[in-house]
């Protein structure tokens, strides 16, 4: 059984997609052992509690120094002894010590086709604003492993989504979530849970 901890910052629709996929048998061999938010009022925490999942907030605002927050977050995650950490809309840059403690055991969902529209500053609506500003006709989402860079780890799954002339950033964000994120994040977890993922020379393959 793959034990996963999900880190969130907002509404938690990706968390909900994981919860639903486990319930529907689309993700097998997996248990969500904890949800951690950096924001106290994140609706994702309510979603977790509604499903009987242990949920807590660890906010950088509650610590004087960034290093103290980093340690607290690592400690909280360690308590769950997870096999995989899933970043599902988590808007905090991950502490280096966490990435080092869990090599190839952290995945992130990013709302574009990496390497386009990723890296510093590309999060949330900014990604979709940039896609529209460039006039792209196709965008999408990417699940990738997390390394010490920003959005730079091995790519695990991607799905393309059409951009429409009438799109606003909000409409495009919603379509990318519905048509890509909510599908490929559960698929990625299921593949990892069932031993179908290999990483070799920084290339991740699902077989």
Binding-site ranges for ligand GRF (CB under 6 A): 8, 10-14, 44, 88-89, 109, 111, 123-124, 173, 177, 181
Q: What's the min distance (Å) between Cβ of 135 and ligand GRF?
A: 21
What CA–CA distance (Å, rounded) separates 99 from 103? 6
- Other CB atoms within 10 A of residue 192 CB: 26
Q: How far apart are CA 6 and CA 37, in angstroms?
A: 9
SS3 category, 65: coil
Q: Minimum distance between the CB of residue 6 and ligand GRF, rounded to whole angstroms? A: 9
C-alpha triplet 72, 125, 32: angle, nearest 5°: 40
Of residues 20 and 71, the one with the C-beta less far from ligand GRF: 20
Min dist CB 61 to ligand GRF, Å, is: 19
**Residue 36 beta carbon to ligand GRF: minimum distance, rounded to whole angstroms:** 13
> Closest CB to ligand GRF among 75 and 164?
164
Tell me the C-alpha distance between 192 and 205, whole Å: 10
Q: Based on CB atoms, which residue is closest to ligand GRF, 30 or 139? A: 139
In this structure, what token pair is assigned to residue 190? 């299921």
* Closest alpha carbon to 29 in 1, 67, 66, 63: 1
75 labelled catalytic: no
CB 146 within 8 A of CB 153: yes
Q: Between residues 45 and 88, which has the closer beta carbon with respect to ligand GRF?
A: 88
Which of the residues 110, 126, 128, 144 is marked catalytic?
Answer: 110
Please count the other Cβ atoms lying within 10 Å of the Cβ belonging to residue 181. 25
**Nearest residue to the partner ligand GRF, using Cβ:** 89
Q: Catalytic positions, please?
A: 110
């Amino acid at each position: 059984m793959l034990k996963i901890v999900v880190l969130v910052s907002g509404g938690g629709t990706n968390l909900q997609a994981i919860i639903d996929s486990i319930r529907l048998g689309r993700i097998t061999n997996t248990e969500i052992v904890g949800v951690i938010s950096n924001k106290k009022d994140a609706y994702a925490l309510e979603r977790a509690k509604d499903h009987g999942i242990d949920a807590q907030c660890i906010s950088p605002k509650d610590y004087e120094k960034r290093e103290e927050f980093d340690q607290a977050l690592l400690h909280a995650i360690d308590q769950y002894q997870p096999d995989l950490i899933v970043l599902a809309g988590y808007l905090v840059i991950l502490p280096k010590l966490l990435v080092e403690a869990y090599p190839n055991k952290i995945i992130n969902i990013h709302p574009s086709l990496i390497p386009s529209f990723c890296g510093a500053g590309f999060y949330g609506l900014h990604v979709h604003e940039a896609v529209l500003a460039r006039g792209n006709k196709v965008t999408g989402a990417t699940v990738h492993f997390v390394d010490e860079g920003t959005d730079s780890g091995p790519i695990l799954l991607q799905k393309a989504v059409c951009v429409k002339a009438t799109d606003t950033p909000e409409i495009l964000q919603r379509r990318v979530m519905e048509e890509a994120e909510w599908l490929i994040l559960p698929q990625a977890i299921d593949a990892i849970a069932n031993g179908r993922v290999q990483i070799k020379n920084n290339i991740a393959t699902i077989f």
